[in-house]
Amino acid sequence: MPSESQPPADGRQPDENRLPVADRLDDDHFPAYTMGRAAELVGATPAFLRALGEARLITPVRSGGGHRRYSRHQLRLAARARELVDQGTPVDAACRIISLEERLERAERANEELRRGDGDAVRGHR
């Protein structure tokens, strides 16, 4: 599934990668939203977010107390999944579609960088 939506293996950011709070507010991958708030923003239920986790579309970071935390990037993926499910697509199929859309977007960005002659940037992002 989309690697950009996945937190580090242990679900926590290494201390050396922690940014000051003001810098994290602009980070699309910073897990700032609780499950309740995330569900509210997406217009879904917490059970729907858990289903997306079970399908491995998104993997929320766990707080020290074990609560799920979601990033803005993950919320965008969840909102897209909700759109597809609302149109009648099964959750697992919606997650696969979104994963393929993400891969296509990354490939298109890489192709554009290659066209511009920025091949070193593409090789560094593998």
pTM of the model: 0.73
Indicate the SS3 state at residue 121.
helix
Per the CB < 8 A criterion, the answer to whether 60 and 8 are in contact is no
Question: pLDDT at position 3, please?
Answer: 44
Q: At residue 85, what is the residue type? A: V
Burial of 74 (0-12, 13-18, 19+ CB in 10 A): buried
Give the chain's residues under pLDDT 70. 1-22, 118-126
